[in-house]
Amino acid sequence: MVNKRIQELRKLMKEKNIDAYYIPTDDFHASEYVGDYFKCRAYMSNFYGSAGYMLITQEKALLWTDARYFIIAAKAIQNSEVELMKIGEEGVLTFDEYVLKNLHENDTLGFDGRVVSAAKVEHFKDTFQLKYKTDEDLIGQIWKDRPALSDQPAFFLENSITGKSTNEKLKDIREKMNELGADVHVISTLDDLAWI
């Protein structure tokens, strides 16, 4: 199943002139634990751990993850063409090293720009002499039974559970901002938003 999905992705990549496709484990808010809709890396590798990312080229399918997941990742990709890249292990290329060694100037790196941070994109642009295609979710185009985005309404927890009201938390945040001389504090991570 994994190999078939990789072949479908490669076909799309060819059609769209993308030489390599980067698949992170992220949602629109850079959450560590993502909802089912965002489990693109898991869909493409069968590895469901919370940390890792993939790079698919016409020749290779690579999965990077850390030591917490080496055993489970190896089992997940067994009998597929996906190669495990053990982060931090001697002799294993980092993502950057692999891209620098194997992609050429003006090759195109594609990814779903909605789930890659601006900092990561800047890093890519500073590190690699590549072209970028960031406006298409290629995994979404091949994942026919992809779970829908959650449509569950937000709700408030009682103060007896949270310990403080939202107004009290906002007051504390504003006091800290004043202490630090900040006029604005941007909050985008889901856990921070939920806490407030």
Token pair belonging to 113? 């720009």
SS3 45: helix
Tell me the Cα Rg of the chain. Answer: 20
If 0-12 CB within 10 Å is exposed, 13-18 middle and 19+ buried, where does residue 37 land?
A: middle
Looking at the predicted structure, is the pLDDT value of residue 191 above 90?
no
- Residue 62: what pLDDT? 98
- Residue 158: what pLDDT? 87
**For 22-77, how does the pLDDT look when each residue is reduced to its tens digit (9 = 90+)?**
999 999 888 878 999 999 999 999 999 999 999 999 999 999 999 999 999 999 99
- Residue 150: what pLDDT? 84
- Residue 31: what pLDDT? 82
- Residue 33: what pLDDT? 85
Instruction: Give me the mean pLDDT over the 82-88 stretch.
Output: 97
Q: How many CB atoms lie within 10 A of CB 49?
A: 18
In this prediction, residue 85 has a pLDDT band, given cuts at 50, 70 and 90, of very high
Max CA-CA distance within the chain? 58
**For 18-27, how does the pLDDT look when each residue is reduced to its tens digit (9 = 90+)?**
999 999 999 9
Mean pLDDT of the chain: 94
Instruction: Give me the mean pLDDT over the 102-112 stretch.
Output: 96
In this prediction, residue 101 has a pLDDT band, given cuts at 50, 70 and 90, of very high
In this prediction, residue 195 has a pLDDT band, given cuts at 50, 70 and 90, of confident
The half-sphere exposure of 3 on its side-chain side, counting CA atoms within 13 A, is 5
Q: How many CB atoms lie within 10 A of CB 102?
A: 16
**For 130-179, how does the pLDDT look when each residue is reduced to its tens digit (9 = 90+)?**
999 999 999 999 999 999 998 888 888 888 888 899 999 999 999 999 99
Looking at the predicted structure, is the pLDDT value of residue 83 above 90?
yes
If 0-12 CB within 10 Å is exposed, 13-18 middle and 19+ buried, where does residue 61 land?
A: buried
